Amino acid sequence: MPRTPPPQLLLLGSISSVQFGSAFAAKLFHQAGPGGVVFLRLAMSAIVLLAITRPSLRGRTRPDLRAAVAFGLILGTMNWTFYEALDRLPLGPAVTIEFVGPLAVAIVGSRRALDLLWVVLAGGGVALLALRGDRSGITGLGVGLALIAAACWAFYILLSKRVGAAFAALDGLAIALGVGTFVVIPTGIVEGGSALGRPSVLAGGLAVAMLSSLIPYSLEITALRRLSAAAFGILMSLEPAFAALAGVLVLGQSLTGVLAIAIVMVVTASVGTTLLAPRPVAEPVTVASGPQ
């Protein structure tokens, strides 16, 4: 019987899949726009996951259903604003700024004096990127959109715990993806237009859905069965670094010294928060992949 790969390797595979999926999505923007691509990603992910899970709404309480709908609204907004930011920022800076969302959740939940250091590091990294301006292909609108995506990612983490407790397996996520698809229909139609019917664009949308949603979710769920919350947090802190690598290899974007320093600052803040956070008796871990 074949051995299951180490959970750390599975999670690194998930991170790589998400970031290279984002890079591939950016290559489709010139055909269908960010709105069109995010619509195809969410719609195709929802169709596949709904077909697999076949979630039932029967017997659900109103608070549970409201939580699932809210989860879907946040999921749709998160993905849309991130793809719009990605159309205006290099991949590395976009993910680095967006990563402030889950970092903020970790810091607010801790409330220790030491967390001020992580706030300064992360804030300094984002400010460093913003101050570079157009010299590094970074725009104010792009930074603003990435920060909205970051806020959505923070709410996504909080809501995922609520929905995960109310719905079995991936049922809640499948419902949320369906709701999120409706959120992005208007921008998808406006930006995607007739391109949404092209076979090449549809194939690309399916590839993005697989790389950015279905494959990483599957790998994370498998890895989390054998991975502590601390190890999960540390490995997830590598997201900005993997994003920068994907930007270089797939999109031909440059890795400047300023970008490298900003990434190191944000990653250090995330690792520090994870390593020095007080450990609860039980370490619940939820799937916390972002919109990439």
Least confident piece of the model among 101-105, 260-264, 278-282: 278-282
Q: Of 157 and 142, which is predicted with more confidence?
A: 142
**pLDDT > 90: percent of the chain:** 45
The Cβ of residue 207 has, within 10 Å, a number of other Cβ atoms equal to 17
Whether residue 258 contacts residue 129, with contact meaning beta carbons closer than 8 Å, is answered with yes
What pLDDT is stored for residue 140 in this prediction? 85
Q: Return the half-sphere exposure (C-beta side, CA atoms, 13 A cut-off) of residue 240.
A: 33
Classify each residue of 8-30 as buried b or exposed e, where b means 16 or more C-beta atoms within 10 Å of its C-beta.
Answer: eebbbbbbbbbbbbbbbbbebbe
Q: What pLDDT, in 10s, does the model give residues 110-147?
A: 667 777 888 888 888 888 887 765 556 778 899 999 99
Q: Is pLDDT of 73 > 50?
A: yes
Position 77 confidence tier, pLDDT thresholds 50, 70, 90: very high
Model pLDDT for residues 213-229, shown as the tens digit of each residue: 889 888 887 777 777 76
Q: What is the pLDDT of residue 283?
A: 47
In the prediction, which pLDDT does 202 show? 95
> What is the token pair recorded at 33?
């726009």
Cβ(173)–Cβ(217) below 8 Å:
yes
Contact 175, 68 (CB under 8 A): yes
Mean pLDDT of the chain: 85
pLDDT at 59: 78
> Residues 165-224: pLDDT tens digits?
888 768 888 899 999 999 999 999 999 999 999 999 999 999 999 999 889 888 887 777
Stated pTM of the model: 0.88
pLDDT category, 82, cuts 50, 70, 90?
Answer: very high
pLDDT score of 288 = 52
pLDDT digits (tens, 9 = 90+) for 229-257: 677 778 888 899 999 999 999 999 888 88
Tokens encoding 108: 């607010």
Band (pLDDT 50/70/90 cuts) for residue 2 is: low
